[in-house]
Amino acid sequence: NAGVTQTPKFRILKIGQSMTLQCAQDMNHNYMYWYRQDPGMGLKLIYYSVGAGITDKGEVPNGYNVSRSTTEDFPLRLELAAPSQTSVYFCASRQTGATNEKLFFGSGTQLSVL
Amino acid sequence: GESVGLHLPTLSVQEGDNSIINCAYSNSASDYFIWYKQESGKGPQFIIDIRSNMDKRQGQRVTVLLNKTVKHLSLQIAATQPGDSAVYFCADLTSGTYKYIFGTGTRLKVLA
pLDDT tens digit string along B11-70? 999 999 999 999 999 999 999 999 999 999 899 999 999 999 999 999 999 999 999 999
User: Taking residues A17-36, what's their average pLDDT?
Assistant: 96
pLDDT score at B7: 61
Cross-chain residue pair B46–A90, CB shorter than 8 Å: no
Residue A44: closest CA among A99, A82, A96, A84: A84
pLDDT band at A97 (very low <50, low <70, confident <90, very high): confident
Alpha-carbon distances of B52 from A5, A50, A66, B31, B88, rounded to whole Å: 31, 24, 33, 5, 20
Lowest-pLDDT range of A17-26, A28-37, A94-103, B64-73: A94-103
Distance, in Å, from the CA atom of A74 to the CA atom of A54, rounded to the nearest integer, reads 11
- pLDDT attached to residue A1: 67
Ranking A11-20, A30-39, B17-26, B90-99 by mean pLDDT, the lowest is B90-99
Residues 3-42 of A with CB under 8 A from B: 4, 6, 31, 37, 39-42
Pick A39's closest partner by Cβ from B7, B46, B93.
Answer: B7
Which residue among B1, B4, B32 sits closest to A37, beta carbon to beta carbon? B4
CB contact under 8 A, A41 and B104: yes
Contacts of B95 in chain A (CB under 8 A): 101
Cα distance from B28 to chain A (closest Cα, Å)? 18
In this structure, are residues B25 and B71 in contact, taking their beta carbons and an 8 Å threshold?
A: yes
Distance separating alpha carbons of residues B9 and B107, to the nearest angstrom: 6
Q: Which residues of B touch A56 (CB under 8 A)?
A: 98
- Mean pLDDT over A81-99 rounds to 90
Q: Which of B85, B80, B47, B79 is closest to B64 using CA atoms?
A: B47
Q: What is the mean pLDDT of chain A?
A: 94
Q: What is the pLDDT of residue A12?
A: 97
The answer to whether residue A2 neighbours chain B at the CB level (below 8 Å) is no
Q: What does the alpha-carbon distance between residue A113 and residue B63 come to, in Å, rounded to a whole number?
A: 41
Q: Are strands A4-7 and A10-13 parallel, antiparallel or unpaired?
A: unpaired
pLDDT digits (tens, 9 = 90+) for B68-79: 999 999 999 999
Residue A41 burial by Cβ neighbours in a 10 Å radius (0-12, 13-18, 19+): middle
Which of A9, A11, A8 is CA-nearest to residue A114? A11
B49: closest CA of chain A, how far (Å): 8
Q: Do A90 and B49 touch (CB under 8 A)?
A: no
* Nearest-by-CA chain B residue for A106: B43
Mean pLDDT (whole number) for A73-98: 93
Examine the pLDDT at A51 and tell me if it is beyond 80: yes
Contacts of B37 (CB under 8 A, 6+ apart): B44, B45, B47, B84, B86, B87, B88
Strand order of the sheet with strand A4-7?
A: A4-7, A19-25, A76-78, A64-66
A45 touches chain B (CB under 8 A): yes
Q: Across chain A, how many H-helices and E-strands are there? A: 0, 11
User: What is the least distance, in Å, from the CA of B16 to any CA of chain A?
Assistant: 28
